Structure 1
C-alpha cells in the first residue's frame, strides 16, 4: 500500500537551487568525495536545510515528510561542523518548532533538542559500560592445554552473551523513551500499536553504534474503520518526529537521507559526496532505495522500481509481506527482515499476534516458503563464502569486518533457525535449540556459539575503538603489497587464535550447508582438525605460526605418510617456508611431497607451482624452466576446474617468464608474460582477486623487456597500460612508482628530458609520502630516482643553453 498523496509534484526552482548548492559543495571535496574543510561546507548544508524546509510547505504528503527529514539532517550537519555558529543553532531550533506545527502535534512547545540531549546521555552511559565490559574479555593465547582452551572459550561465550544482552536492553530502553515522548507530543494514539524492532536488535547482537530498524504494527481490524486514514497519518508524523529526535543525536551521516541533488550533479567518473566527518552512530535505517527498513518505508518511485512500500500496517497486512516477493526487492527481501523481530514499545498483545503469524509461516510446509529460504541460503553461500572473503583480502588493504567476520557466520545460523522453524532471533538461542533438538551435538553447539561470540566481539571492539559504525580495518593505500597490514589489524581485535578458529568454524559450517541437498531433515556435526587450522593460518598469513604449529604437531604425533590430511599440512608448511624466503626448506618439503601419492589434484598443482617458485628464487633458472616444461603435460591431465587450471597455468607461465628475464632471454620472457596475462584474464575475480593486478605486473615486465631490447615506444605503451590497471584496481604505490620509473627511463633514453623529468618527479613525490623521513636517504629506489632527476635537469640546462 502506497502512502497517501503519492503524486510527487515539486517546485522545480527549488530543485534547481538545491542542485546549485550541491555543485558548490564539490569545490570543498577531494577526489574521493570527502570534505577537505568541513567548516567551509557547513554553510552549504545550512542553506540546503533551509531549501528543504521550503519544500515541506508544499501539499504533497511524501515530499513534505521526506523534505523535513532531509532538512533535519542538513541543519544538524551544519551545527556539528560549526558548533559555535548561533545562526545554525537557531535554524535547527526553529525547524523543530515548525515541524511540530506541520505535524499537528498536541504539545507544540515540546523541545526535541532537549529530548535528544537526554537520549545522548543514555547513549554515553551505554557506551561507557560496554567499553568497560569489553576490556574484561581476554584474548585466548596459544600456549594453553585443550581443557584450558575449552574453558576460556566457554568464558568468552558467556561474557559476550552478557554484554550483548546489556546493550540490547539499554537500546530498547532508549527507544521506549523516545517512543513515549513521541506519543506525548502527538497526543493519545487513535489506535493500539507496537513499535517492533528488527535486524541486530531482534537478534540480540546490536552494538552501541547501530541503526534502529523497526516497523509499526497496528491493531487488526482498524483498517475497516472510517478513521483509518487519520490513524495512518498520526503514525507517519509520529515516525517523522521519532526520526528527527534520532537525527538530533548528530550521528546520522548525510548520504543516509538520500539527497537527490548529490547524485544529479555527479558526473561519470566522479565520486559522489560521502560524509566522512560525521561519526556514524545511532540513527534510523537510511532512505536510500536499497534500505528503508523503517515505518515510512520506501517513499520514492524510480523507473525500474515504480512502487512504494510502507511499514505501518495492521498485523495481518504486515504478515502478507512474508509471502510476497515480486516487487519488494529493495536490495533485500522484506519477508526476510520481518522473520526476525522483537517488541520494543506499545501493545504486547499486538506484537504477540504478529509473532504467532510469523511462527505459523515458519512451521508451514508450503513449498514456496521452503524454496525462498533455500534460494536465499544459496545466494548467501555464494556472496559470503568465508574462503573467498578471506582470499579477497590479498588484493585489498582494508577489510569490512561486518561482511568478513560477522555475516559469514550469523547469516547461516539464522538460516538454520528458519529452516528448523525456530522463531527465537538470537544466534545463541538458535544454536541452543538446534542442540536441544539433536540437530547438532554438544561439541558443534560449542564451536558455533564460540564463532558467534568472536564475530560479535570483533564488531563491538572495532566500533568502540573508532567511536563510530565504521566496519573497515586496514589502510587506505599500500606502499608495498608485501607490507599489507590488513591481516595484522584484523587479528589485533581479538587475537590470532580466535580469528583462526573463527574462520575454521565458519568454513566448516558453510561446507556442510553446501554439501547437503535436502536441508529439511538436516542433522550434522562439525569438528576442527589440524588441517582446518593450517588452512586458515595460511589464509591469515600467519606463516611463523604454521611452522611452530607443525613442529608441535610432529612432536605430539608420529608422522603418517599415507594420511592425506598430513600431506595437506606439509604443503601449508612448504608454502610458509617459501613466503618466509626459506626456499631450501620449502624445496625439501615439496620434494618429499613429490614422492607421495596425492589424491587431491588441486594440491598436486599447487605443489608444482611452489616447486617452480622455489627453484626460481634459488636462482636455478634453467632447472625451473625444465621443470615447468616437464609438468605441462601433467597439468593438462589434472582434474581441475577451468578457473583452477587457468590459475595454475598463469602462475607457471609467470615464473617461466621471470626465469627467462633473469637469463636475458627477453623475447621469450615477453611471450611467457603475454601467456600469463591471457590466463589471468580468464580467471574469475572471486577465485583470484588480484587477477588485474597480476595482469598489470605482466604488462610492466613486458615493458621492461622491451626497454632492454631498445624498443622504447612499445615499452612506454606497456608501462602506461600497467599504470592504468594499477590505478583502476587499487595497485600498491610501489607498483605504480615502478611504472613511473620505466616511463621516465624510456623518455630519458629517447633524450626527451622534460617528459622524463615529469615522471621521475611524480615517482619521487609518491615515494616520499610513504617512506619514513629517516629512511629516505638510504632507500635505494629514492636514491636512483634522485639520480635520474639530476641527469634530466643537467640535460635540460644544456638544452636551454644551446637553444
Structure 2
C-alpha cells in the first residue's frame, strides 16, 4: 500500500472544494462554526462525496476516503442529532464499508459496537472523576514533615488513578480489536496490537487518542499470501478506526481533509472543529501525526515519503535506527521506544519489546548521538523557564506543553540514556534510584513532579469533558491583570505548581550540563532561591512578600551570598508590581552596594531602579541615573539580544520621564530609539517585544497630540493599534489607541470619526469591566463624556445647516 499511486477523480475534488468554500460563509474569523446546525448539511454532502471517492481502485484513496467519510457523517449527525437522513447515511455507510472490506460478517453493527464502547468510556470517566475528587491540594501552611507525607500520598493516589485508566483503556481497545477480528474473520497470521504514547507510559487520560501499531509474526513477509495478510490488517484497521470515529469524539481536522486547506487563502484561518468534544480517537492523519497502523499514506511536497506501521517484528525494529523520519519531524522511532501489549499474541509483542531493549542498551555511537540530539532539541523547545516567561505575553496556555512535557519528556530521556526500557515515568524514576543514579530525595521530587503533571492534565480534561489543552482567556483586558497563572493554580493548588516548576527547572538545568553519557549521576534539591524564583514567575507577588517575612527571620539581614541577592531581586520586583515603589527602590539601592556576580541581574537591577524612580516622580534623577548606567551595559557579559532589551527599556523609561517634563520632542526621539532596540530583541528573550514597540508608537502619537500635530498623531495611533491587533495586545491597550484617535479627530472638528472611535472604545471597555464597576470606572466615564461631546457638536452642526436652508 505504501508504494501505491494516489489517483483521484478531479470532478469529485472540485465538488469537495466547492463544499469547503461554501462552509466558509458559516465560519467566524477564527475558522470556527458560527452555527453548527447550518454546517451539518455541508459535512453530510462531503461525506457522500468521499464515499464516492472510495469506489475508485486506488488502495490509498479508497481507505482514506472511507475514514474521512466516517468522520464527516458523524460530524453531521452530532450537529443535527434528530436528522433521520444523516443517521441513515451513516448506517448505510457502515454497511457498505463491510462489503468493501470483504468482511466475513456483513451484517455486523458498527454503530452498536461503538455504543457499547461509549458505555465503557462513560463508566471509566465517572470513576476517574470520583477518584480525582479524593486527591486533595497541599496547603501552603504545613510543616516540612507534613508536606512530604502529603506529597507521598499524592504520588500514590495519582499512580493508582493512572493505572486504573490504563487498564480500562486497554480493555476497551481489546474489546474493539476482538470485534474487528470477528468481523474480518480469522487472521491470516499471528499478530499483536501494540500501544504507544501515553498508554504505554501509564499516563493516558480518559480523553486520549489511541496511538498503536500492528506487529506481525516474523516470517509472514516470506509467505506467498503476504499481500493478502497486509490487506486483511489494513481493512482491520479501517474498521477499527470507524468504530472509534463512531464514538463521535473525533474532530474533523484530524482526518486531514485537503479541501479545507485548498480553499484557505493567505491570512485566513483554516477550518477548526470547535464543536466536537475531542476525546477518544485514533492518532490523526496530519503529516506530523499518523502514529497508527495505516501510517502516513499521503506524500506532501515537504514530506515526500510514506510509512506503514503494519509490519513483521524485525521490519518494525528497523525504524528505531532511521534518521529520515527524525529529520522530517515524524519521529516514529521515538514513539516506538515506549510500547505495551494491548491485544493479540503476547510472544510477538515480547520479541518486539526485546528488540527495543537491545537498541536501548546498544553502545553504537549513532544511537547515543541521536538520543543526545533529541534531548538537546527538547531542552530548547520545552525549556520550563522560557515556557513560563512566554506566559507573560499570552492570555492562554497549553497545559500539555507547559506542565506535562516539561517533566515527562526529560524523565523518559533519562530512561533511554540509562537503557531503562520501562515506559512509565514513575518506574523509570524508581530504576534510576535503584541504580544509584539519583538519591531518595531526588526520586521523591521527580515522582512528585510527574504526579502533579498528570493531575493537572486529568483535571483540566475532566472539567472540560474534552482533550482541550488550553486554559485561560481569549483576550486580556489589561496585560497586567493576566489570569493565566491563577487558572493554572486553580487546578492543583499554589504549592504544587510552585514546587513543580522549581523541580523541573532544576532537572532541566542538570540535563543541560550533561556532557554526553559520561556523567549521568545527579541529585537535585529545592532551595529558598528556587521557591522565590518560581513565586515570581507565577506572579505570586503577595506571597513573595509574606514568604520574605519568615525567610528574613532566619537569615542575617546583611548577608551577601549570591542566593540571597537573587532572593532580594525577586522581593524588589514583587514590591514594584504591588506598587510599593519606595520599598522596591530601597532594595535596588541595597543591591547596588553588593558584588553581584551574575551580569543579567546587574542589568535588571539598573532597569528596575530607573523604573522605580520614574513611578516616584523623580524624573530628573531617573534621567541622570539612566545616562550614567547606559554606558555600564557595554561591560556586561550579556547576549546582544539581552543588551538590546535593557537598552530598549532604559530608553523607554527615559522617554516617559521626558514626556512628564513636557519635553515632547525629546520624548519622541527616545521612543523611536527604544522601538528600534526592541525590534532587535530575540522573541525568546523578550516575549513582550512587539507589544513594547506598539506602546512606543502610541506614546509617540501622544507626544504629537500634545504638540498639535494631529495628522501625524493619527498615523502613530493607527500603527500602534494595528500592531496590538497583530500581536494579541491587551484590550485596554487597544482602547487607549481608539481614545487617542478620537481625541485627534475631535481636535480637527471631525466629529463623525471621533464619535466612531470613542464609541468603539466605550463598547470594548463595557465588554470587560463588570457591570457593578462600570459607573465608577474612570476610563469608561471619560469615554462616555467624549461620546456626549461629539454628539452635542454633531447636533449643533445639524442645526447650523438646517438654519441655512430656512
Does the alignment reach a TM-score above 0.5?
A: yes
Cα distance in 1, alignment partners of residues 367 and 133 from structure 2: 43
1:500 aligns with one of 498, 501, 515: 498
Task: State the Cα distance separating 1:639 from its structure 2 match.
Answer: 1.7
1:265 aligns with one of 257, 263, 266: 263
Task: State the Cα distance separating 1:245 from its structure 2 match.
Answer: 0.3
**Other structure's SS at 2:194 match:** strand
1:215-294 pair list within 5 angstroms: 215-294=213-292
Are positions 1:141 and 2:139 aligned together? yes
Contact (CA 8 Å) 2:211, 2:282: kept in 1 or not? yes
Report the counterpart of residue 478 of structure 1 in structure 2: 476
Report the counterpart of residue 804 of structure 2 in structure 1: none
1:612 aligns with one of 607, 610, 615: 610
What is the TM-score with the length of structure 1 in the denominator? 0.98
Report the counterpart of residue 642 of structure 1 in structure 2: 640
Deviations along 1:13-65, one digit per CA (max 9) or x if unpaired, are 11111111111111111111111111111111111111111111111111110
Cα distance in 2, alignment partners of residues 419 and 133 from structure 1: 34
Cα distance in 2, alignment partners of residues 71 and 106 from structure 1: 22
Contact (CA 8 Å) 2:325, 2:331: kept in 1 or not? no
Cα distance in 2, alignment partners of residues 45 and 463 from structure 1: 27
Contact (CA 8 Å) 1:216, 1:311: kept in 2 or not? yes
Report the counterpart of residue 597 of structure 2 in structure 1: 599
Report the counterpart of residue 62 of structure 1 in structure 2: 60
Cα distance in 1, alignment partners of residues 514 and 201 from structure 2: 26
1:59-458 pair list within 5 angstroms: 59-327=57-325, 329-458=327-456
Contact (CA 8 Å) 1:649, 1:679: kept in 2 or not? yes
Task: State the Cα distance separating 1:590 from its structure 2 match.
Answer: 1.6
Cα distance in 2, alignment partners of residues 46 and 34 from structure 1: 18
Cα distance in 1, alignment partners of residues 327 and 222 from structure 2: 29
**Other structure's SS at 2:324 match:** coil
Report the counterpart of residue 584 of structure 2 in structure 1: 586
**Other structure's SS at 1:493 match:** helix
Contact (CA 8 Å) 1:670, 1:705: kept in 2 or not? yes
Report the counterpart of residue 712 of structure 1 in structure 2: 710
The 1:77–1:27 alpha-carbon spacing in structure 2 relative to 1, beyond 3 Å, is: same
Task: State the Cα distance separating 1:389 from its structure 2 match.
Answer: 0.1
The 1:511–1:673 alpha-carbon spacing in structure 2 relative to 1, beyond 3 Å, is: same
Report the counterpart of residue 486 of structure 2 in structure 1: 488
Task: State the Cα distance separating 1:642 from its structure 2 match.
Answer: 1.5
**Other structure's SS at 2:232 match:** helix
**Other structure's SS at 1:458 match:** helix
Deviations along 1:150-199, one digit per CA (max 9) or x if unpaired, are 11111111111111011001100000000000000000000100000000
RMSD value over aligned CA atoms? 1.2
Deviations along 1:532-587, one digit per CA (max 9) or x if unpaired, are 11000000000111111111111234345121111110111111111000111111
- Total equivalences in the alignment: 801
Cα distance in 2, alignment partners of residues 195 and 574 from structure 1: 57
Contact (CA 8 Å) 2:325, 2:332: kept in 1 or not? no
Deviations along 1:330-378, one digit per CA (max 9) or x if unpaired, are 5331111111111100001101111111111111111111111111100
Task: State the Cα distance separating 1:801 from its structure 2 match.
Answer: 4.2
Contact (CA 8 Å) 2:385, 2:505: kept in 1 or not? yes
Cα distance in 2, alignment partners of residues 204 and 786 from structure 1: 57
Contact (CA 8 Å) 1:291, 1:330: kept in 2 or not? no
Contact (CA 8 Å) 2:99, 2:106: kept in 1 or not? yes
Contact (CA 8 Å) 1:42, 1:81: kept in 2 or not? yes
**Other structure's SS at 1:295 match:** coil
**Other structure's SS at 1:699 match:** helix
Deviations along 1:272-304, one digit per CA (max 9) or x if unpaired, are 111000000000000011110000000011122
Task: State the Cα distance separating 1:802 from its structure 2 match.
Answer: 4.2
Deviations along 1:116-144, one digit per CA (max 9) or x if unpaired, are 01100110111011111111111111111
Cα distance in 1, alignment partners of residues 659 and 560 from structure 2: 40
Cα distance in 2, alignment partners of residues 564 and 22 from structure 1: 61
Report the counterpart of residue 694 of structure 1 in structure 2: 692
Report the counterpart of residue 3 of structure 1 in structure 2: 2
Cα distance in 2, alignment partners of residues 91 and 331 from structure 1: 38
Cα distance in 2, alignment partners of residues 605 and 306 from structure 1: 49
Pick which of 466-475 and 602-611 moved more. 602-611
Cα distance in 2, alignment partners of residues 800 and 50 from structure 1: 60
Cα distance in 1, alignment partners of residues 506 and 774 from structure 2: 47
Task: State the Cα distance separating 1:594 from its structure 2 match.
Answer: 1.6
**Other structure's SS at 1:604 match:** helix
Cα distance in 2, alignment partners of residues 724 and 249 from structure 1: 43
What is the TM-score with the length of structure 2 in the denominator? 0.98
Cα distance in 1, alignment partners of residues 750 and 639 from structure 2: 49
Contact (CA 8 Å) 1:77, 1:254: kept in 2 or not? yes
**Other structure's SS at 2:371 match:** helix
Report the counterpart of residue 622 of structure 1 in structure 2: 620
Contact (CA 8 Å) 2:277, 2:466: kept in 1 or not? yes
Contact (CA 8 Å) 2:296, 2:308: kept in 1 or not? yes
Report the counterpart of residue 728 of structure 1 in structure 2: 726
**Other structure's SS at 1:269 match:** coil
Contact (CA 8 Å) 2:372, 2:516: kept in 1 or not? no
The 1:73–1:177 alpha-carbon spacing in structure 2 relative to 1, beyond 3 Å, is: same
Cα distance in 1, alignment partners of residues 777 and 560 from structure 2: 49
Cα distance in 2, alignment partners of residues 552 and 305 from structure 1: 58
Task: State the Cα distance separating 1:776 from its structure 2 match.
Answer: 2.3
Task: State the Cα distance separating 1:327 from its structure 2 match.
Answer: 4.8
Report the counterpart of residue 559 of structure 2 in structure 1: 561
**Other structure's SS at 1:119 match:** helix
Task: State the Cα distance separating 1:264 from its structure 2 match.
Answer: 1.0
Gaps of 5+ in 1: none
**Other structure's SS at 1:298 match:** coil
Cα distance in 2, alignment partners of residues 206 and 444 from structure 1: 24
Pick which of 171-180 and 778-787 moved more. 778-787
Report the counterpart of residue 672 of structure 1 in structure 2: 670
Task: State the Cα distance separating 1:782 from its structure 2 match.
Answer: 1.8
Cα distance in 2, alignment partners of residues 694 and 569 from structure 1: 27
Cα distance in 2, alignment partners of residues 327 and 440 from structure 1: 33
Report the counterpart of residue 520 of structure 2 in structure 1: 522
2:457 aligns with one of 437, 456, 459: 459
Task: State the Cα distance separating 1:796 from its structure 2 match.
Answer: 2.8
Deviations along 1:240-286, one digit per CA (max 9) or x if unpaired, are 00000000000000000001111111111111111000000000000
Deviations along 1:217-253, one digit per CA (max 9) or x if unpaired, are 0011110111000000000000000000000000000
Task: State the Cα distance separating 1:103 from its structure 2 match.
Answer: 0.3
The 1:787–1:560 alpha-carbon spacing in structure 2 relative to 1, beyond 3 Å, is: closer
Cα distance in 1, alignment partners of residues 554 and 148 from structure 2: 19
The 1:514–1:37 alpha-carbon spacing in structure 2 relative to 1, beyond 3 Å, is: same
1:745-784 pair list within 5 angstroms: 745-784=743-782
Task: State the Cα distance separating 1:8 from its structure 2 match.
Answer: 1.2
Task: State the Cα distance separating 1:607 from its structure 2 match.
Answer: 1.3
Cα distance in 1, alignment partners of residues 646 and 327 from structure 2: 39
Task: State the Cα distance separating 1:636 from its structure 2 match.
Answer: 1.7
Contact (CA 8 Å) 1:160, 1:456: kept in 2 or not? yes
